Homo-oligomer: A and B are copies of this chain.
Amino acid sequence: MNFCSHCGAPVVRQVPPGDHLPRYVCERCGTIHYQNPKLVVGCVPEDGGRILLCKRAIEPRRGFWTVPAGFMENDETLQQAAERESHEEALASVEIGSLVSIVHVMHAHQVHVFFRARLAAPEFGVGPESLESKLVTEAEIPWDDLAFPSITFTLRRYFADRAAGSERYHYATFDYRSR
């Protein structure tokens, strides 16, 4: 951030009065530009015991596998975001179920949230952000070619819970920054 999005003047990075963290502050109009974690929302769509995966057509991690997921938009719920991403990435209609995971992705300033889901119909395809999509059994999950650690974590917990006949939710925190 270099300029104030409100008035266009250059911003400076400083701790505002009464605050405890440095922020981008406009010295002309006084606007404080807070930066906060973004929500990424997805689901694990199941159909007849198999899971719907998509191969990413876009960076980061083009060519690697994921469940449908993406940035939450304004004016939608978490569940609606997960449904929308399934439509966009795999042309799939899903019914969203219980919470599987909440993953803090510290290096990306993101919080990832994943739900259990079912395909509303046994139909899916390849959306513009995907190269390929397919239903796979647990044994067929390409563990070494998953796109993100949050996907690996979520699928591991998903299958462990399914084997145990439970629907718990799980937390994880990843931080890939060097310190």
Query: B18–A7 contact, CB under 8 A?
Result: no
Q: Distance (Å) between the CB of A144 and the closest chain B CB?
A: 28
Set B2, B3, B39, B79: member contacting A36, Cβ < 8 A: B39
Contacts of A164 on B, CB cut-off 8 Å?
A: none
Query: A5–B21 contact, CB under 8 A?
Result: no
Which A residues from 93 to 108 make CB contacts under 8 A with B? 99, 102, 104, 106
Query: B7–A5 contact, CB under 8 A?
Result: no
Residue in chain B with minimal CB distance to A79: B171
CA distance A39 to B111 in the complex (A): 9
Contacts of A18 on B, CB cut-off 8 Å?
A: 128
**Chain A: interface size category:** 35 or more
CA distance A54 to B75 in the complex (A): 29
CA distance A36 to B10 in the complex (A): 23
Query: A104–B128 contact, CB under 8 A?
Result: no
Contacts of A21 on B, CB cut-off 8 Å?
A: 73
Contacts of A176 on B, CB cut-off 8 Å?
A: none
Set B34, B77, B111: member contacting A104, Cβ < 8 A: B77
Q: Is residue A149 within 8 Å, beta carbon to beta carbon, of the partner chain?
A: no
Which residues of A are in contact with B by a Cβ distance under 8 Å?
1-8, 10-11, 18, 21, 24, 33-39, 71-75, 77-79, 99, 102, 104, 106, 109, 111, 128, 169, 171, 173
